[in-house]
């Protein structure tokens, strides 16, 4: 049975269900205990599972992730919360050097089943240090998986998959979606497999690949183009590493036109990788250059006027789609 | 502040002789590595522990199998004492397929969970949050096991060590922090990196006991470690043991160590942990010429066999250069 709940409540539901299912799962982070986390995601968990399964940690991001790695070595499945995705930089070394390399340097003899949840993204008046999109750093690092749900359904299903995965998974939850992405979420144990994209809208003229908060804006733009006679297929990657190449290439074979939309900055973002892959593997299918609609190579300004200027939105995406359709 | 309770942990003659064996084995391993580096047969960075062996032997002696160690880059001997064979460690230094990393990395960047060995990355201090995580699981499972976390006086200045000590203190985790203060962090003497004389003084600020001891006296290390371990096992939380010592060789085998004087080195060589301990055993009539010869021959044989094992081991299979990225 699916009922409508918010993205943020879906995350909590996944945590609670996984903690009930598996005693090795525990949550740790700043203010996650009695307070329930800066966004209320862990509300009620300490009450139900006790102090140590919903553990308040000092402001020590590196230690939060290092502790998670240590616990994973002993068969636990820690879910670490970064208060804001921006602060993940303070735990960067423990992710990219410690967790990501563990299995490789142990000669394949261990796994590192940790999840690092990070509230990311702009459009929430966050300014420079509460708006960033760090996905490319982690997609660029082998040994990690990166997921970025765009719906409440996926927020739950992907978190369950991440917790059960035997690798370090960076779970990017978009703050803009916390309450805005309300939708059906199954009550039961529904898993959204890591590595599988979802086609959010079918279309035969242009393939639009996106993820996270940009899915909403992209669907909006696609509807506008439909009224103009252009049918856009919108693919929500859901998993950024490993991204679903098969789904993207299959759609491209149908449409021959591709635009990648992301909130992350342009240079070496997912768009660059997807574009290069398409060039390498489906060059002869392309009727037009691959386009990108992204954040400029800029920091995230606080002023609403400035942020609006930088953020991709339905208008900008629709413009790109028109250019691509006319090419 | 309460001072550390003094224990007297008794050792049999047999145990004392076993300690001598470990001191000699670790010394011989490092001496052989030094030669192998000069011969160009080992290409790994080699961080010799010659002069510091008493710290590892004194602290690891008597550990239980499920107790965990999180060594620093100079602590190859701890892997041996925890049960990895000299051959496998030598193969690790040779980057052979039979090494712990299967050739992916050398040095101590690999571990063995079944033996309670965590191998850190190159990142100094990054082992200590992991140590706290392992200790947290001992606490959660109400086991009486302990974690020994090693770091140099140089690494003592990293944020990770600070974060880990603080977290261990807050939750009274069963960790013994062991600082191997060999005066130099690569070339930088301690007075240029901290304004206090004893790293142990920092413990009080975290809320647990710290002691500064003669790290070249294997029995002093043993007594201090056993005391701290006993306290950790009974839920009394962490202790910091600072072991004052000196490394005879350069930072690595490639470092000529011109930053220190011959007189200083000679002074510390006169405090050789092996000579001191041998003299102690002699005075107590515990060590006959025959036993000494027996130990020396056993050590040479084991090191010879380790080198032979490493040299006859196959190189890694090129097909495994990019495998084990994910579980
Ligand atoms: C985070 C980090 N910075 C720098 C280095 C390079 N480095 C390796 S060992 C070393 C000195 C370490 O000194 P100390 O911690 O006292 O240990 P010791 O080598 O003296 O045993 C340095 C600077 C490193 N490995 N990691």
Ligand 1 atom, smallest distance to B47 CA: 19
B132: nearest CA partner in chain A: A67
pLDDT > 90: percent of chain B: 96
Rg of chain B, C-alpha, whole Å: 19
Q: Where are the beta strands (DSSP E) in chain B?
A: 68-70, 147-152, 175-181, 184-185, 188-189, 209-214, 239-244
Best mutation target among A72, A74, A165 (most B Cβ atoms within 10 Å) is A74
Which residue is catalytic, options A130, A140, A174, A285?
A130
Split at pLDDT 50, 70, 90, the class of B4 is: low
Q: What are phi and psi of B173, to 5 degrees?
A: -80, 150
What is the ipTM, given to two decimal places?
Answer: 0.96
The answer regarding whether domain A2-186 maps to CATH 3.40.50.970 reads yes
In total, how many domains does chain B have? 1
Chain-centre distance for alpha carbon A259: 19
If you measure from the C-alpha of residue A301 to the centroid of ligand 1, how many angstroms do you get, rounded to a whole number?
38
Domain ranges for chain A? 2-186, 198-326
pLDDT-derived band at B132, boundaries 50, 70, 90: very high
Nearest by CB: A58 against B113, B131, B166? B166
Range of the domain at B227: 13-310
Q: Looking at residue B8, what is its pLDDT? A: 75
The pLDDT of B87-98, averaged and rounded, is: 98
Q: For residues B305 and B313, what is the distance between their CA atoms, to the nearest angstrom?
A: 12
* Chain-centroid distance, C-alpha B68: 12
CA separation for the pair A67, A114 (Å, rounded): 10
**B126 within domain boundaries:** yes
What CATH number did the domain enclosing B242 receive?
3.40.50.970
- Give the tens place of pLDDT for each residue, B311-323: 999 999 999 999 9
A130 catalytic, yes or no? yes
Nearest residue to A254 (alpha-carbon basis) of A199, A210, A292: A199
Kindly report, residue by residue over A277-300, the tens digit of the pLDDT: 999 999 999 999 999 999 999 999
Which segments within A139-216 are labelled E, that is strand? 145-147, 169-174, 182-186, 198-201, 206-210
Using one digit for the tens of pLDDT, what is the confidence trace for B108-129? 999 999 999 999 999 999 999 9
For B324, which of A93, A97, A107 is closest by C-beta distance?
Answer: A107
End-to-end CA distance of chain A: 45
* Tens of pLDDT, residues B175-193: 999 999 999 999 999 999 9
- Dump pLDDT digits (tens) for A215-272: 999 999 999 999 999 999 999 999 999 999 999 999 999 999 999 999 999 999 999 9
Question: In B, which residues are within 8 Å of A104 by CB distance?
Answer: 104, 324-325
Query: Taking a C-beta distance cutoff of 8 angstroms, is the pair A59, A52 a contact?
Result: no
Question: What average pLDDT does the structure give for chain A?
Answer: 98
Residue B259 belongs to some domain of the structure: yes
User: Contact A105/B105, CB-based, under 8 Å?
Assistant: yes
pLDDT in tens, B218-256: 999 999 999 999 999 999 999 999 999 999 999 999 999
CATH of domain A198-326: 3.40.50.920
Instruction: Answer whether B325 sits within 8 Å of A110, measured CB to CB.
Output: no
Q: What is the pLDDT of residues B251-302, one digit of tens each?
A: 999 999 999 999 999 999 999 999 999 999 999 999 999 999 999 999 999 9
Nearest CB neighbour to B101, from listed A52, A107, A166: A107
B196-214 pLDDT, tens per residue? 999 999 999 999 999 999 9
Residue B1's pLDDT is 41
If interface means Cβ-Cβ distance under 8 Å, which residues of chain B face chain A?
99-102, 104-105, 109-113, 118-123, 126, 128-137, 139-140, 159-160, 163-164, 166-167, 170, 322-327
Tell which of A19, A30, A67 to mutate to test the B interface (max B CBs under 10 Å): A67
* Rounded distance from Cα B185 to ligand 1 centre (Å): 6
Reply yes or no on whether the pLDDT at B2 is more than 70.
no
- Which residues in chain A show pLDDT less than 50? none
């Amino acid at each position: 049975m699916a009922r409508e709940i918010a993205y943020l409540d879906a995350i909590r539901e996944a945590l609670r269900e996984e903690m009930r299912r598996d005693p090795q799962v525990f949550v740790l982070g700043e203010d996650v205990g009695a307070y329930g986390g800066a966004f209320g995601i862990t509300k009620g968990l300490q009450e139900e599972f006790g102090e140590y399964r919903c553990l308040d940690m000092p402001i020590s991001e590196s230690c939060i992730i290092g502790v998670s790695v240590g616990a994973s070595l002993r068969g636990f499945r820690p879910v670490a919360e970064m208060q804001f995705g921006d602060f993940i930089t303070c735990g960067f070394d423990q992710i990219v050097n410690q967790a990501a390399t563990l299995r490789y340097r142990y000669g394949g003899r261990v796994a590192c089943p940790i999840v690092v949840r990070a509230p990311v993204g702009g459009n929430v008046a966050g300014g420079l240090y509460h708006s960033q999109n760090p996905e490319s750093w982690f997609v660029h690092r082998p040994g990690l998986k990166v997921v970025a749900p765009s719906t409440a359904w996926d927020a739950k299903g992907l978190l369950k998959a991440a917790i059960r995965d035997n690798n370090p998974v960076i779970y990017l939850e978009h703050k803009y979606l916390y309450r805005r992405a309300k939708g059906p979420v199954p009550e039961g144990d529904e898993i959204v497999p890591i590595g599988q994209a979802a086609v959010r809208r079918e279309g035969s003229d242009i393939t639009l690949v996106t993820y996270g908060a940009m899915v909403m804006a992209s669907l909006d733009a696609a509807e506008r183009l439909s009224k103009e006679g252009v049918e856009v297929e919108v693919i929500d990657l859901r998993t950024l590493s490993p991204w679903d190449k098969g789904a993207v290439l299959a759609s491209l074979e149908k449409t021959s036109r591709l635009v990648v939309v992301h909130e992350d900055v342009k240079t070496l973002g997912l768009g660059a990788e997807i574009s290069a892959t398409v060039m390498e593997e489906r060059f002869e299918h392309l009727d037009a250059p691959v386009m990108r609609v992204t954040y400029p190579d800029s920091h995230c300004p606080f002023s609403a006027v400035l942020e609006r200027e930088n953020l991709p939105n339905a208008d900008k995406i629709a413009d790109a789609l028109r250019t691509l359709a006319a090419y | 502040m309460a001072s550390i309770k003094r224990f007297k942990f008794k050792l049999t003659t047999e145990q004392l002789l076993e300690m001598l064996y470990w001191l000699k084995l670790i010394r011989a391993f490092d001496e052989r590595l030094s030669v192998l580096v000069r011969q160009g047969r080992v290409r790994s960075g080699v961080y010799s522990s010659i002069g510091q062996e008493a710290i590892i032997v004194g602290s690891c002696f008597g550990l239980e199998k499920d107790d965990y160690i999180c060594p620093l880059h100079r602590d190859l001997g701890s892997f041996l004492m925890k049960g990895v064979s000299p051959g496998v460690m030598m193969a690790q230094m040779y980057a052979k397929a039979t090494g712990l990393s299967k050739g992916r990395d050398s040095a101590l960047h690999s571990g063995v969970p079944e033996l309670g060995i965590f191998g850190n990355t190159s990142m100094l201090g990054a082992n200590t949050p992991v140590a706290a995580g392992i200790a947290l699981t001992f606490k959660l499972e109400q086991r009486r096991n302990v974690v020994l976390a090693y770091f140099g006086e140089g690494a003592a200045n990293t944020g990770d060590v600070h974060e880990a000590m603080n977290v261990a203190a807050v939750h009274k985790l069963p960790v013994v922090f062991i600082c191997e203060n060999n005066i130099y962090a690569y070339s930088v003497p301690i007075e240029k990196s901290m304004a206090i004389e004893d790293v142990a003084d920092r413990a009080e600020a975290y809320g647990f006991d710290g002691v500064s001891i003669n790290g070249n006296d294997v029995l002093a290390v043993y007594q201090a470690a056993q005391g701290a371990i006993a306290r950790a096992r009974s839920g009394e939380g962490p202790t910091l043991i600072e072991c004052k010592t000196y490394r005879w060789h350069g930072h690595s085998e490639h470092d000529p160590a011109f930053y220190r004087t011959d007189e200083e080195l000679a002074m510390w060589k006169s405090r050789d942990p092996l000579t001191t301990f041998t003299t102690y055993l002699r005075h107590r009539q515990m060590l006959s010429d025959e036993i000494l010869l027996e130990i020396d021959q056993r050590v040479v044989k084991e090191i010879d066999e380790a080198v032979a094992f490493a040299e006859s081991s196959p190189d890694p299979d090129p097909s495994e250069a990019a495998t084990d990225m994910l579980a």
